[in-house]
Amino acid sequence: MLYIKCPYCGLRAQKEFSYGGDATVKRPNINEEVSSEDWDNFVYMRKSPRGKHTELWQHIAGCRQWIKVQRDTATHEIFQTAKVTEEIR
């Protein structure tokens, strides 16, 4: 079970969180024209990298905040966690 540092609550067990996918995906702006290709990429296309991956998790059984987690998909090592408003390098 992973041990995830919520930027609001501190280190908590994985069972308090739910996974939310790739954090680097940007939704096309509302009320703006978007090409079908860009839209399809946003809705369907995800990378599945081996290694570093910045992803979203929600602390559903805690503060209910969505957070960013940079994790190694092969070893599960967590390099960094951050608020969604913060950048992860």
Partner 1 sequence: MSQRFRLNKEGLINRNKKISFTFNGKKLFGYEGDTIASALIANGIHLVGRSFKYHRPRGFFGAGVEEPNAKLQVEFNGHSEPNVNATEMELVEGLSATSQNCWPSVNFDVGAINNFLKMFFPAGFYYKTFMWPKSFWYKIYEPFIRKAAGLGVASIEKDKERYEHKFEYCDLLVTGSGPSGLASAYAAAKNGAKVILAEDKPRFGGTLLTDDVSIDNLSGKDWAEKIISELKSMPNVTVKNRSQVFGYYDHNMLVMFERVSDHLEKKSKFIPRQRLWYIRAKETILSTGSIERPIVFGNNDTPGIFLSAAAKEYMKVYGVLVGKKPLIFTNNDSAYETALEFKKNNVEPIILDTREEHSSELIDEAKSKGIDIRFSHGVIVANGYKKVKSAKIGKLNKDKNSFEKIETVDCDCICVSGFWTPSVHLASQSGNKLKYEEKIDAFVPDKKKQHETSVGAANGSFTLEESLKNGFENGSNLSAKITDTKTEIAIPNVNEKKYGAHDKFWCMPLPKNENPKRFVDFQNDVSVSDIEIALREGYRSIEHVKRYTTLGMATDQGRTSNLNGLQLVSNIENKIVPEVGHTTFRPPFTPITIGTIVGREVGMEYMPTRKTPMHEWHEKNNAVFVDAGAWKRPRYYKQGNETLFEASKREAKNVRENVGICDVTTLGKIDIKGPDAAEFLNRVYTNAWMKLPVGKARYGLMLREDGIVMDDGTTTRISENHYHMTTTTAQAANVLSHLEYYLQIVWPELNVNVVSTTEQWAGAAIAGPKSRDMLSKLYPDLDVSNDALPFMGYKEAEFFGVPSRIFRISFSGELAYEINVKSDHGMFMWEKMMEVGKEFGNQPYGTEALSTLRIEMGHVAGPELDGRTIPSDVSLNGLVSKKKDFIGKNSLGREAFNVESRQKIVGLIPIDRKSSIPEGSHIVQDQNAKLPNPKLGHVSSSCWSVENNNPFSLAIMKDGKNMIGKKFFAVSPLKNKSIEVEVISSHYVDPEGKRVRS
Q: In 3-state terms, what secondary structure has residue 89?
A: coil
Applying CB under 8 A, among 56, 70, 82, 88 the residue interacting with partner 1 is 56
Listed in sequence order, the residues at least 6 apart from 57 whose beta carbon sits closer than 8 Å to its beta carbon are: 4, 17, 18, 19, 20, 66, 67, 69
Q: Is residue 70 at the binding interface for partner 1, with CB under 8 A as the rule? A: no
Question: Minimum distance between the CB of residue 76 and partner 1, rounded to whole angstroms?
Answer: 5
Residues that bind partner 1 (CB under 8 A): 1-3, 13, 18, 20, 27-28, 30-31, 34, 36, 39, 42-44, 56, 58, 60, 64-66, 75-76, 78, 84-85
